[in-house]
Structure 1
Amino acid sequence: VTRAQIKVLAEFAEDLDHQRALLDLCADGDTNVANYREQILGNRVSLLDLLQRYPSIMVPLNTGLELLPALRPRYYSISSAPAAGSDRCSITVGALIAPARAGGGVFRGTSSNFLARQPVGATVHGFIRPPGLPFYVPDDATTPMIMIATGTGLSPFRGFLQERAAQKAAGANLGPAILFYGCRLPDSDFIYEDQIRQYERGGIVEVVTAYSDVTDGTNAWVQDKVAEHGARVLDLMGQGGNVYICGGAETVAPALRETFARMYAEHNQVSADQGTEWFEAQRANNHYLEDVWAAH
């Protein structure tokens, strides 16, 4: 909810304490702005949350409807390749259900839960948007590929592996490809495992897994596994290989950025600043590509 929307709600608050609290949130002072960012933006507070928190707000229906923001489109990575069937595509979606940050109740992702409720055979409208970055299998099949994913971030790489399998079937010589995949538990959270293992047996990809919640002492984060194989990863990048990241923008993405910069610095015995400089050059040259999303 924006500060302008809060100001409108304050006009209709019949309780003076409620009105003052709302006006404080939308005032221009540095402290007020900081409180707004912490209390409202930081907790993803919605209009409905404020109406429940300040029940004296008697906003007219037409005004309330005008305050409602338009739903933004939700973008999902396509998890199939045209080579697997040109008349269809698939997406892989995890239904977002989590404790509400605003306090009390449960937050349910609008789009993911809408899709989860649809019966088999339902029609859902959408559109395809070309990627803004070259986040796809290189035209040159010999180009090394390093794919790193967590959770449903495996989605685009399922399509990548379908494409590589089609390239191999057509007689192409494939360059090396490694998939680093992280999830909580192997038995319940490794999506598409049977398909991925089949591609591994077929020489399409090498798979390295990281399970964060196992209790046998082998638990690790995906960035730990990348660092463990750092020499090979850097060698493949030195051969012109591309790194593809798919996962959380607030978790795995920053952890991997730090890991790659540190790996380069340590393996080449240079300063941390030089490692960061090298990493930023990889990003600028589209050799390090991210398809990441923010949590609710």
Structure 2
Amino acid sequence: MGVPVTAELLLTQFLELQDVATRAHIRTLADHTPCTWTRPQLEAYTADTEEAERRYRTEILEKRVPVLTLLERFPAVELPPADFLDMMGPIRPRFYSISSSPLADPRHVRLTVGLVESPALSGEGEHRGLCSQYLGRLEPGDVLYGYVRVPSPTFAPPADPTTPLVLIGPGTGIAPLRGFLEERARQHAGGTEVGMSQVFVGCRHPEHDWFYREEMQTWEESGIARVHTAFSALPDHPARFVQNAIAAAADTVWDALDNGAYLFVCGDGRRMAPAVREALAAIHRAHTGSDDAAAQEWLARLEADGRYQQDVFA
């Protein structure tokens, strides 16, 4: 730090305390206990065996167990504060997509933040998102420090407002896509011709967590967007996930892309984005009679041309 600070300030404002404990961390904990019961418990995660690797993966890595939790589980570990600080990296910045258009207000930036709060995967206590909880505690008038970063590669709509769009953003993935739609709405209101946007949104239940629902309906009524929905907790709805909604609107999606549409995907990169890609490949196969290799080549061309862009997170 270079200057004296309180322990509270150091631990709450500067250190990343929720990162998963690595095997090297666990070895350090084992080196700092004289307890003949505790040491074997920790070494069972770090031994050079397949069983130790499996145990670490299933009990520590997959359950997102941090060093602090291990210190609570094993109170016989006598870890010096300096060694603990060496384990903890500095807090990393959290990046959020801007979900508004400067055409609406160049001095006002809107963010769409999902508050992370749930039982910890470790089974001990609750997991609270570091940045989302911080943002949730802010009051009007509080000062927030941050900066605007231009993504590389860029994630932005084409300069020509008449270009049609296919926007896929379940949950908070709608954030940047809402900015695209707000910009198109402002252009349309000013007399500029804008292309149709096919918007695929998803959530658990339309009455609980459909973000920007009224705006979406307004933009659909104005004729600049067509909204396709997926609700995972609504039994009678035809689409549980956005990939199901894409498959149901296969002809519409194909016509849009065949007419030069740009496609944007934002949100979960582990399950949603690959499922969307497969749904698009299936649409290509169905409309061309081609095999999967040709469908993947088509998607690769869209990506190379900047017409298939993703902003996804793990």
TM-score by shorter chain over 0.5: yes
How high is the TM-score relative to the length of structure 1?
0.92
Identity of aligned residues (%): 36
Residue 178 of structure 1: aligned partner: 198
Residue 263 of structure 1: aligned partner: 283
Please identify which structure carries the higher helix content: 1
Q: CA deviation at 1:64?
A: 1.5
Asked if the contact 1:213–1:219 (Cα under 8 Å) also holds between the matched residues in 2, the reply is no
Q: CA deviation at 1:83?
A: 0.5
Asked if the contact 1:134–1:286 (Cα under 8 Å) also holds between the matched residues in 2, the reply is no
* One-letter amino acid matched to 2:244: D
Number of residues of Structure 1 aligned to a counterpart in Structure 2: 294
Give the unaligned 5+ runs of structure 1: none
**Counterpart secondary structure, 1:92:** coil
CA distance in 1, matches of 2:165, 2:271: 22
Q: Deviations over 1:193-213 (max 9, x none)?
A: 112211111222111112221
Q: Deviations over 1:159-197 (max 9, x none)?
A: 111111222234322122111111111112111111221
Q: CA deviation at 1:12?
A: 0.9
RMSD: 1.8
Assess, with a 3 A threshold, how the Cα gap between structure 1 residues 162 and 219 changes in structure 2: closer, same or farther.
closer
Q: Deviations over 1:219-238 (max 9, x none)?
A: 52211111111122122112
2:46 pairs with one of 3, 6, 26: 26
**Counterpart secondary structure, 1:21:** helix
CA distance in 1, matches of 2:302, 2:64: 34
2:223 pairs with one of 184, 197, 203: 203
Structure 1, 9-18 or 21-30: larger mean CA deviation: 21-30
Residue 147 of structure 1: aligned partner: 167
CA distance in 2, matches of 1:189, 1:94: 10
Asked if the contact 2:196–2:223 (Cα under 8 Å) also holds between the matched residues in 1, the reply is no
Q: Deviations over 1:71-98 (max 9, x none)?
A: 1111111110111111121101010112
* One-letter amino acid matched to 2:122: A
Asked if the contact 2:239–2:245 (Cα under 8 Å) also holds between the matched residues in 1, the reply is no
CA distance in 2, matches of 1:25, 1:136: 45
**Counterpart secondary structure, 1:59:** coil
The answer on 1:132 being equivalent to 2:152 is yes
Residue 247 of structure 1: aligned partner: 267
Give the unaligned 5+ runs of structure 2: 1-20
Residue 51 of structure 1: aligned partner: 71
Residue 124 of structure 2: aligned partner: 104
- Structure 1: 4+ residue segments shifted above 6 A: none
1:232 pairs with one of 252, 259, 269: 252
Q: CA deviation at 1:276?
A: 2.5
CA distance in 1, matches of 2:84, 2:208: 43
Asked if the contact 2:231–2:237 (Cα under 8 Å) also holds between the matched residues in 1, the reply is no
Q: CA deviation at 1:291?
A: 1.4
1:118 pairs with one of 138, 155, 169: 138
How high is the TM-score relative to the length of structure 2?
0.87
Structure 1, 168-177 or 206-215: larger mean CA deviation: 168-177
Residue 313 of structure 2: aligned partner: 293
Residue 159 of structure 1: aligned partner: 179
